[in-house]
Amino acid sequence: MNKAMRATLLAAFALALLAACNAAPPAQVDTEGADPRVVQARGTLAESEQATIAIFETASPSVVLVISGGRAAGGFNNVEISSGTGFVWDEAGHIVTNNHVVQGQEIIVRPPGGEDVRATVIGRAPQYDIAVLRLERPTQARPLALGTSADLRVGQATFAIGNPFGFDQTITSGIVSALGRQLPTQEGREIADVIQTDAAINPGNSGGPLLDSAGRVIGVTTAIFSPSGAYAGLGFAVPIDTVARVVPQLIENGRAPIAGIGVLTADQSIATRLGVEGVLVWETSSGSPAARAGLRGTDQRAGVLGDVIVQAEGEPVRRLADLTNQLDRLGVGGTVRLTVRRGDRDVEVSVPIEDIGAPTQASAPTK
């Protein structure tokens, strides 16, 4: 490009820039007289939405916040406070929640929109993670309608109402993701037939009701499985059929019987290392139903394994939960038919089921 052309282009650019700087401002848009935005009519809510709203409005007044507090080791001012959820069980105003929610010395229940009420734990069933509270003052809330967990089907709708992270009166929805799960407790037993749901359950939901599409309680939310500690789509609830069997016993007696036969079983990892398929009897309690029925424990000095329970009521026993589930199903006062492997032969034994009381060691409970 020669010097004359370059000079011409620079001059043209300068003139264009000057013209732009001196140009009149853009004309303002006249909005006077414009039609205001009109809110469109929504129409009727979908049936599913109406159903969810009805469930929440009916059930939520009976769902409460449970606060548990107490002084922890390490100093007078070191106070531990935890919170969870509970719900009104009966006309007497008893509150059902999880046992792990109410471990503090002071229990406060906060009804929706109401004043805090002191509460007392009148019964605990740690083997099912269930506790019952009595309020100092009666509540006006109605008890929730109870359903059954016996006829649940994977895929049906579920609704959880609770207080996740302290945000009270929260409803989440999902489906029954699976049935028949086993959930370990701190007492060394496992809760049978646990409901798995993908309805969002977080810390603070524990002890709240899991409802079906009819607004009936089908379970008590008790735990989540999450590497992060927050919702990950895996929530669990104690089946209402178990709760309905246990709660009246807690109200009347303060505890629920623990069905057992009086055997101390080997840890499953030990049994596996020994090549045992089933539940290995480590020892029998003196005078227990198992001892009276002739079950044999392991002789460590002689290196002789004890009886291995391989069936209960004709069903395979592969781990301890298979045995305890059968004992719970038959109940105290019943009799369980066991098949045990003794050496190279199988032996049939009938053993009465008794209330063995709370285990003395959670790591090695007697069953």
259-355: CATH topology: Pdz3 Domain (2.30.42)
Which candidate in 60, 68, 83, 100 is catalytic? 100
DSSP state of 366: B
Reported as a pLDDT band with limits 50, 70 and 90, residue 146 is very high
Q: What's the CATH class of domain 48-135?
A: mainly beta
Place of tokens 């620079």: 10
Counts for the chain of helices (H) and strands (E), in that order: 6, 20
Low-confidence winner among 76-80, 154-158, 361-365 (lowest mean pLDDT): 361-365
* 8 Å CB contact between 289 and 223: no
Residue 358 has pLDDT above 50, yes or no: no
Mean pLDDT across the stretch 280-304?
A: 89
Bigger pLDDT: 62 or 19?
62
pLDDT at 78: 55
CA angle 58, 60, 63 (to 5 degrees): 130
Q: How far apart are CA 138 and CA 133, in angstroms?
A: 12
Q: Please, what is the average pLDDT of the chain?
A: 85
108: Cβ–Cβ under 8 A, 6 or more apart, which residues?
66, 67, 68, 69, 116, 117, 118, 119
As a 3-state breakdown, the chain gives helix, strand, coil percent values, each rounded to 5, of 20, 35, 45
Which candidate in 206, 288, 307, 328 is catalytic? 206
DSSP state of 58: H
Residues of the chain with CATH 2.40.10.10: 48-135, 157-253
Comparing CA positions, the residue from 51, 77, 220, 196 lying closest to residue 146 is 220
Q: How far apart are CA 305 and CA 308, in angstroms?
A: 8
Residues of the chain with CATH 2.30.42.10: 259-355
Q: How far apart are CA 295 and CA 341, in angstroms?
A: 10
Reported as a pLDDT band with limits 50, 70 and 90, residue 363 is very low
20-34: per-residue pLDDT in tens? 455 555 556 566 667
Residue 94 designated active-site: no
Bigger pLDDT: 8 or 315?
315
Residue 97 has pLDDT above 70, yes or no: yes
Reported as a pLDDT band with limits 50, 70 and 90, residue 5 is very low
Reported as a pLDDT band with limits 50, 70 and 90, residue 214 is very high
Q: Which CATH code for domain 157-253?
A: 2.40.10.10
pLDDT at 25: 59
Reported as a pLDDT band with limits 50, 70 and 90, residue 360 is very low
Residue 243 has pLDDT above 90, yes or no: yes
Whole-number percent of the chain with pLDDT over 70: 83
pLDDT at 170: 95
Structural element, H or E, at residue 86? strand 79-88
Q: How far is CA 150 from CA 17, 155, 193, 218, in A?
A: 82, 15, 9, 9
pLDDT at 356: 83
* 8 Å CB contact between 128 and 243: yes
Residue 95 has pLDDT above 90, yes or no: yes
Neighbours of 237 (CB within 10 A): 30
Q: How far apart are CA 265 and CA 289, in angstroms?
A: 15
Q: Which of 23-27, 119-123, 166-170 has the highest mean pLDDT?
A: 119-123
Bigger pLDDT: 104 or 361?
104
pLDDT at 188: 64
Residue 227 has pLDDT above 50, yes or no: yes
Bigger pLDDT: 31 or 348?
348
Reported as a pLDDT band with limits 50, 70 and 90, residue 11 is low
Residue 206 designated active-site: yes
Reported as a pLDDT band with limits 50, 70 and 90, residue 343 is confident
Residue 100 designated active-site: yes
Residue 178 has pLDDT above 50, yes or no: yes
Residue 165 has pLDDT above 80, yes or no: yes
Residue 268 has pLDDT above 90, yes or no: no
User: 3-state DSSP call for residue 67?
Assistant: strand
Residue 247 has pLDDT above 60, yes or no: yes
Which candidate in 129, 168, 193, 307 is catalytic? 129
pLDDT at 79: 60
311-337: per-residue pLDDT in tens? 999 999 988 888 988 898 898 899 999
